[in-house]
């Protein structure tokens, strides 16, 4: 996937859901994985094309795990003209050693978001961008259905009143397969996730389930995504984004 196509996906989502406004200062959550690195690349490049003028801050939450190295991320950020801040935490110690969580992802996610949002406020940002892609939307839909007994997913735009922040998700139209192609074809550096729980999660189960359903049902992703948008739940709405490239 080309940079132009990635920007097209991001720009369409941003316009459909009013994610980017003139004067925004946006903190991008950058784990170093393929999704967050692609989002950062796309938003940085779009600064030259969008009529709305905005600033970016790249924020990485370090969990305190051995082997975590974000030097490549910092170097890439310098190359594209975005300041990079690594937020040092002891989240891994709390989750794995102190709390000894059997299902660590929920607590880890909550603590990471808390650290990220606090730093975003400190840096004067009014928005935080997360890199959830279209596959994440669909997997979250099934996670909510099977594990919580409800219909829904995270919202494209969420307001955090306590911190006076808005969370935006500009990658919601981007298929994960396109993200993989983008980082591979454009030489975008990706940092390995050192988390010991990586891969063995409920989300991993949903990823496998979705892959199986794709084989059985034509246009499976488009139908589920479109149904979620037409439901009107959680800030979703029907837009031209229903007609997504296959």
pTM equals 0.90
Alpha helices in the chain (DSSP H): 3-17, 34-46, 71-80, 91-92, 105-122, 134-143, 176-186, 202-216, 220-231
pLDDT of residue 200: 59
Beta bridge mates, 84 = 58
Output b/e per residue, 40-62; b: 16+ Cβ within 10 A: bbbbbebeeebeeebebbbbbbb
Per-residue pLDDT in tens (0 to 9) along the chain, 246 residues: 899 999 999 999 999 999 999 999 999 999 999 999 999 999 999 999 999 999 999 999 999 888 788 999 999 999 999 999 999 998 988 988 888 777 777 888 899 999 999 999 999 999 999 999 999 999 999 998 988 888 888 999 999 988 889 999 999 999 999 999 999 999 999 988 777 766 557 788 889 999 999 999 999 999 999 998 988 887 898 876 545 544
Q: What is the largest CA-CA distance in the chain?
A: 49
d(CA 110, CA 162): 15
């Amino acid at each position: 996937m080309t940079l132009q196509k990635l920007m097209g996906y991001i720009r369409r989502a941003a316009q459909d859901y009013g994610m980017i406004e003139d004067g925004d200062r946006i903190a991008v959550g950058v784990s170093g994985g393929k999704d967050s690195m692609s989002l950062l690349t796309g938003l940085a490049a779009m600064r030259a094309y969008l009529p709305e003028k905005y600033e970016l801050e790249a924020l990485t939450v370090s969990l305190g795990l051995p082997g975590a190295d974000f030097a490549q991320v910092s170097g890439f950020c310098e190359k594209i003209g975005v300041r990079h801040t690594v937020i040092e935490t002891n989240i891994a110690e709390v989750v794995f050693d102190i709390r000894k969580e059997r299902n660590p992802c929920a607590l880890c996610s909550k603590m990471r978001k808390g650290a990220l949002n606090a730093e975003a406020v400190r840096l004067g940002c009014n928005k935080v961008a997360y890199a959830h892609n279209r596959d994440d939307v669909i997997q979250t839909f099934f996670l909510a259905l099977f594990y919580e007994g409800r219909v829904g997913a995270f919202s494209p735009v969420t307001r955090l009143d306590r911190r006076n922040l808005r969370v935006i998700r500009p990658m919601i139209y981007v298929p994960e397969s396109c993200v993989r192609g983008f980082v591979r074809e454009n030489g975008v550096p990706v940092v390995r996730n050192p988390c010991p729980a990586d891969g063995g999660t409920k989300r991993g189960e949903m990823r496998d389930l979705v892959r199986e359903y794709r084989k059985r049902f034509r246009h499976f992703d488009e139908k589920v995504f479109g149904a979620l948008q037409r439901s009107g739940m959680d800030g979703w709405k029907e837009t031209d984004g229903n007609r997504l490239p296959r």
